[in-house]
Amino acid sequence: GVLVAGTEFFGEDEALREANRDLVSAVKTDSPPDAWTGLITQVMAGAAKEAPGAPVDRIAIELKGREPVITLYLGQPEGGEDKRLVFDARTAKFLRSDSYADKPFINRVHSGEAFGDGGLVFAMVWGLALFALTVSGFALYWRLAGANRAGRTGLKRWFF
């Protein structure tokens, strides 16, 4: 039940992390370099076949678990994210490819990032305006509450 709920609410990645938590990796800090560098060399060769000339943004290595994987996150030549290639970490065999974005588009819209630098500036100004409105609203409330306690009415409440 808990594993199903974890998968349902947090996704497959979190469920996999939980399942692998108590396992021990075969690669140790004092393992010889060929315990992992050879795999990366083979994975890069496989990636060159799948996506020739694509820039590599990031390499993620998961060495423990029932299905350890090496994931290459590829970018586009002109910038931006493109796709993710997943390889078996034991055999360097290509498993799957899917598109990926560093952040979902809705997050980029929310922060203004989707609209370029102007969108980011607008989002910053909007955030500062909301803060200023909150502070000024509280100051007005405090001022009027004090005027009401002092018994001032009408325009005297506003202009002391």
Considering its fold, how many domains does the chain have in total? 2
**Segment 19-29, tens digit of pLDDT:** 777 788 877 88
Average pLDDT over residues 46-74: 88
User: Is position 17 within any domain?
Assistant: no
**Segment 79-115, tens digit of pLDDT:** 767 788 999 988 889 999 888 766 677 877 888 877 8
User: Is position 79 within any domain?
Assistant: yes
Which of 84, 102, 120 finishes a domain?
102
Q: Report d(CA 146, CA 149) in Å as an integer.
A: 5
Both 44 and 74 in one domain: the answer is yes
Query: Ramachandran region of residue 82, left (φ > 0), alpha (ψ -120 to 50) or beta?
Result: alpha
Q: Please give the single-letter amino acid code of residue 92.
A: A
User: Is position 131 within any domain?
Assistant: yes
The range of the structural domain enclosing residue 60 comes to 27-102
- What pLDDT score was predicted for residue 129? 97
